[in-house]
Amino acid sequence: MAQYIGKRLLGAIVVMWAIITITFLLMRAIPGGPFTEEKKLPPQIKATIEATYHLNDPLWKQYSDYMSHVVRLDLGPSYKYIGRSVNEIIGESFPVSAQLGLGALTFALVGGLIAGVGSALKPNTWLDYIITIGSTIGLSVPTFIIGAVLVYWLGFVWPIFPVALWKGPAYMVLPIITLGAQPMAFIARLTRSTMLEVMKQEYIKTARAKGLKKSTIILKHALRNAVLPVLTYIGPLAAALLTGSFIVETIFAIPGLGKYFVTSIYNRDYTVILGVTIFYSALVVAFNLLVDLLYPLVDPRITMGEEESQ
């Protein structure tokens, strides 16, 4: 088990180094810079500003300096939000995005599993058809359309929920449904297909022959094996949802991380772009690593298979 964890950790470190390096080089390859504006600054002032932020240093030195700060978890100062560091920006905005993402993840996971299992247990029935059609629509319709429809019907036609800002539970309902609709549809379809395959396996037939309760067969035997593909999907999904959807945050005027990321692209704020990219990538890698560690708990044969092959 220790070797299993060690390999995954080493792989995660290599992936993070590659992401930071590639993103850093791409930022420097783009023409212009954070202080390139329509109204040009006097050359002396621009040179002084660039010297202050060490942007006039050789590329290799900028890279080594930046990596040394990243290792210390210092993502540097923002070039546009004067007096604020990237760590402060992420620290202030991420909790809002995390609340939105956690709610959407819970909504998608619970709703998707229930819908998928229900559809698989009642194949070719009205329930199966409704869930399949609903899942197809959920996957086909873009997020901003879902948000606009919810805002129109539940915010204006029937003013049940507020349609903007982030001030309490009532404000969370529409953004969470909007952000979680597509993942829920995908999880429902994925769970349905895997459950249908699992329910045909011999060990399920054996469990039925032994007279086990239907609920025990579904929860302990069928769902435990059917959830493995869902676990694979949850890793990057959790990171994407927890960092917040830029579109959803824009639609509902939510002060999350997405606002700063979009603004930093327009402003060419290198450090914010790099910092948010690193933060997002670290979450993706961390959740994928967590999924890898959860696999042996759900199915111990995964670890045993690796050990036997060595």
- Residue 39: pLDDT band by 50, 70, 90 thresholds? low
Residues 124-139: what's their mean pLDDT?
91
CATH number of 97-266: 1.10.3720.10
- Residues 147-159 have pLDDT tens digits of 999 999 998 899 8
Other Cβ atoms less than 10 A from the Cβ of 40: the count is: 10
Question: With 70 as the cut, is the pLDDT of residue 306 above it?
Answer: no
Instruction: Give the whole-number percent of the chain exceeding pLDDT 70.
Output: 90
Q: Taking a C-beta distance cutoff of 8 angstroms, is the pair 246, 168 a contact?
A: no
CA separation for the pair 131, 80 (Å, rounded): 47
| Phi, psi torsion values for 170, nearest 5 degrees | -65, -30
Q: What is the pLDDT of residues 79-126, one digit of tens each?
A: 888 888 899 999 988 899 889 999 999 999 999 999 998 898 888 899
With beta carbons less than 8 A apart as the criterion, state whether 79 and 50 touch.
no
Domain boundaries, the chain: 97-266
% pLDDT > 90, the chain: 25
Can you give the pLDDT at residue 180?
Answer: 92
SS (H, E, C) 63-126: HHHHHHHHHCCCCCECCCCCCCEHHHHHHHHHHHHHHHHHHHHHHHHHHHHHHHHHHHHCCCCH
pLDDT exceeds 80 at position 184: yes
pLDDT at 6 over 60: yes
